[in-house]
Structure 1
Amino acid sequence: MLSSPIVLRMPPELQMTSDQFFEFCQINSELQIERNKKGELIIMSPTGSETGHKDARIIQQLMNWADEDETGIAFSSSAGFTLSTGAERSPDASWIKLERWNALSAEQRKKFAPICPDFVVELRSPSDNLKPLKEKMLEYQSEPGFQLGWLIDPQNRRVYIYRPNQEEEILENPESVSGEPVLPGFVLNMRKIW
């Protein structure tokens, strides 16, 4: 059964600041919560174990590459970022160039850093509706600093690729996906994901 995340619309007088939203997420740490640019809270159900394993495989490969490359740092799905629109998002995996990360203050890094990652990955779980995930990718695509995004759909064995100012590209059942030129030398082995 496909589902969409629960969207809670907030009256203007109950809108949270970024600090309040961060605290709200900490208090409700068992939930996966994001906030869109309209200030609506998006509550997603936890993924199943199989999806969690696939996500870990993506993060593992990205982290291994980032450790070798040393030009940026990788993040898991538990990291949140504040986009230029005010939306607060947590991609399933992401990476930021070191110079952009180092330009943030120590205080900014402790919360939902005010930056869009250079590279983001979203992994569709069996219960996810594809439309909200594509909308999220378009949101990243319009952000300053964004360079590359992958929406991985294991059910249909497709990878949707997003780049700034370009149309979505679709790969059908690829054995691997290259991060060139944004992530030089990074190739995601899709056999470990499918």
Structure 2
Amino acid sequence: MNLSHAVKQEAYLNPMLLHWPPSLQGEEELFFEFCQVNRELRIERTAQGDCEIMAPTGGETGSRNLSLAAQLYNWAELESNGIAFDSSTGYILPNKAIRSPDASWVKKSRLAVLTPQQKQRFLPLCPDFVIELRSPSDSLKTLQAKMQEYIENGASLGWLIDPETRHVFVYQPDMPPVILDNPTALLPDRVLMGFKLDLQKIWDVPF
């Protein structure tokens, strides 16, 4: 078994944690290039500078991720005040963590101040809105901590969706998380006016 295959198998069961050398922490360009040459893996960086490596998702999670991104994209195209992003987009948060939520949205006014080079790399900001979708191999506790991190770094709204239990955890600044039991839809009126996420398309995988 080669190293790449071993990493993929281990990462599928549990994200692999690699320690990024202290001398290289803060080298955003180097970390970006590291991620580009390992595109088959999803790589994030913690605020402490460690790398978390995850393998590609399974079929059911992949289908759900696409539905999330498609619904958000279709609304954003009509709404026109912000841009929707998929799970391959990296963000450099104010605490220096680099995260890639499963779906996200950023106001155009915040993107307009970025340079062309910044737009081509990990975006140096926290999204206004994030969605994380729990896969069978994900730790709920880890995802909850990640959602709290988004809020603490400037996100206005976050949804953690758990298809296994059909629970949705809603995160907002200065409020404890709210747990919704088996909702059929989500309507974030305050942050994304007019957006509706059809959760039946998330709960019921079409294969």
> TM-score by structure 2 length?
0.90
1:8-157 equivalent positions in 2, closer than 5 A: 8-15=18-25, 17-144=27-154, 146-157=155-166
Task: Determine the C-alpha separation between the residues in 1 that align with 2:23 and 2:78.
Answer: 48
Q: What 5-or-longer segments of structure 2 have no aligned partner?
A: 1-11
Structure 1 stretch 93-102 or stretch 5-14: which is displaced more?
5-14
Report the equivalent of 2:167.
158
Contact 1:4 1:132 in 2 (8 A): no
Structure 1 stretch 167-176 or stretch 2-11: which is displaced more?
2-11
Q: What 5-or-longer segments of structure 1 have no aligned partner?
A: none
Task: Determine the C-alpha separation between the residues in 2 that align with 1:10 and 1:89.
Answer: 15
Q: Runs (4+) of structure 1 moved beyond 6 Å?
A: none
Task: Determine the C-alpha separation between the residues in 2 that align with 1:98 and 1:173.
Answer: 32
SS at match of 2:63: helix
Contact 2:189 2:195 in 1 (8 A): yes
Contact 2:93 2:125 in 1 (8 A): yes
Identity of aligned residues (%): 50
Higher relative contact order (CA 8 A, sep 6+): 1
Report the equivalent of 2:179.
170
Task: Determine the C-alpha separation between the residues in 1 that align with 2:186 and 2:25.
Answer: 40
Task: Determine the C-alpha separation between the residues in 2 that align with 1:16 and 1:181.
Answer: 35
Q: Deviations over 1:26-76 (max 9, x none)?
A: 011111000010000000121101100001001111001001100000000
Q: What is the identity, as a one-letter code, of the residue corresponding to 2:161?
A: I
Contact 2:73 2:84 in 1 (8 A): yes
Matched positions, count? 192
Residue 190, structure 1, aligned to residue 199, structure 2:
yes
Shift of 1:171: 0.4
> TM-score by structure 1 length?
0.96
CA RMSD of aligned residues (A): 1.2
Task: Determine the C-alpha separation between the residues in 2 that align with 1:95 and 1:111.
Answer: 17
